[in-house]
Homo-oligomer: A and B are copies of this chain.
């Protein structure tokens, strides 16, 4: 694991690391903010959206200020394997920059696109072994495709991720164009495989014991066709799952929206993880 970038921010350290991933078979980068606080800290995994890499969240969300105050580590991985020899297509909603947090089973994706194993297992193990975090206090959040990843990771692995939130998540990928394309491409035609990566479907089939926090802008151009928060809302209501779905007039899909409400999410995670 090699540190390739390092800055002091709000008294803490904002780094970027690169390592060779067993899961993806490629060099992967992730950003880490370590707050100026002693001892193993609770850690929030942030999963970014389509087209993003490990930089977007840490340069645009303004999360370090509150993370420094709360003593929270934040880990923000890249959104897919990358590089020569890694499968790709021209579209921005499939391939490099669009891993969708699944373990692909279909060629040519299945060789490197193992982002599910990477973000839920390999990366937390690596972080726990090398950085000052308390692996018993892990949370997960994310934006858009990463909000989908965060919800799915938290619902399927509540013992690994004790707090879960999302911004503008793709709530029901089996039923929206982005999700149908990505899940079909990465997992093939069997929709039973898709259901393991669909937050609304998972809530219907398994329920969830924790509390979910989801923020959604009402001026988000992707809201109606791609994000479908109402599907998650209905599933949670039917399953008795505690969901705080906050709809915000005027806000769009950008990081200005994330920046505006990230403080609420960090305080939510810190509160759950400190219990």
Contact = CB atoms under 8 A, between A and B. Distances in A.
A65 B259 CA distance: 9
Interface residues of A, number: 22
A219 interface: yes
A11 B217 CA distance: 12
Given A7-B252, A250-B8, A251-B8, A259 B64 contact: yes
Contacts of A257: 7-9
Contacts of A246: none
Contacts of A259: 9-10, 62, 64-65
Interface of A, secondary structure class, is mixed
A59 B256 CA distance: 8
A60 interface: yes
A55 to B, nearest CB: 10
Contacts of A250: 8
A222 interface: no
Interface string A256-274: 1101100000000000000
Contacts of A10: 259-260
Interface of A: 7-11, 14, 59-60, 62, 64-65, 217, 219, 250-252, 254-257, 259-260
